[in-house]
Amino acid sequence: MNTRPPTIDLDSIRKLVSEADVEGLIEIHGAPDNEYDKEAETLHATIAQLQTSEITVSKLLQTLEAIWRRNFIDDDKELALRRPALQNLAEQIANVFGPDAKPRAQENSQLMTDLDYLHACIAEARAAERDGEVPIGAIIVHNGDIIARGQNRVLRDHDPTAHAEIVALRHAARALANYRLPEGCTLYVTLEPCAMCAGAILHARVSRLVYAAVDPKAGACGSVLSVLNHPQLNHQVEVSSGLLAEECGSLLTAFFRARRT
């Protein structure tokens, strides 16, 4: 089994993060060199939990985006401006791990990608939970890039339609200036979509849906209803489910258990 190389320590990660200066804080605002200590520690802790074969540029980029979104900025357009710097930082960190830090075999590449993106959804779900919302998160990916993110906002926005999937679809449509998304878009979400969200997925022409946990009470992708892929519909969606189902289901179970106590 591959393990994390001993040459990777917190000081190495801190140095790389500081030199990248993604926000321009050190260069522009004269912030101290330890400005990113908290972010470096978070990144180091995340890397420490991974096997060497899992430490890819894609995985690191997802982690970096989640860290910066949580600590600095939560805006897709602003984050997109920083993505080249984050990409460069991810490549530098991956290079430190040497030749063993390679992606898995090609036949497993799609599985690894789906897992990475679902982890990004989980980050959105946890952010929603911190604001008192049911922990459900979603993202939309096109050509390997995350073009939109969403999390439950029904309480914050006083909007019964503000499910994570709907929020992500709205962001994607605005970003692309088209309510119908281009071919090849995948929507990832931590919980099986309801009837409303399944209908929106069809209207947006999402090519592929990946959800983690099933919803035995309101799921509309096979659990309770089968809104998607009715033979009379003029759009079909490729559906995958089950990845990280236990982790995503546990998030919801713990949330509702805490509310009952």
Name the residues annotated as catalytic: 165
The alpha carbon of 117 is separated from its chain's Cα centroid by a whole number of angstroms, namely 5
SS3 content of the chain, % helix, strand, coil (to 5): 50, 10, 35
Q: Quick one: 13 exposed, middle or buried, by C-beta within 10 A (0-12, 13-18, 19+)?
A: buried
Enumerate residues 6+ apart whose C-beta is below 8 A from 223: 192, 214, 215, 216
Alpha helices in the chain (DSSP H): 10-20, 25-29, 37-48, 57-71, 76-96, 109-130, 164-176, 195-203, 245-260
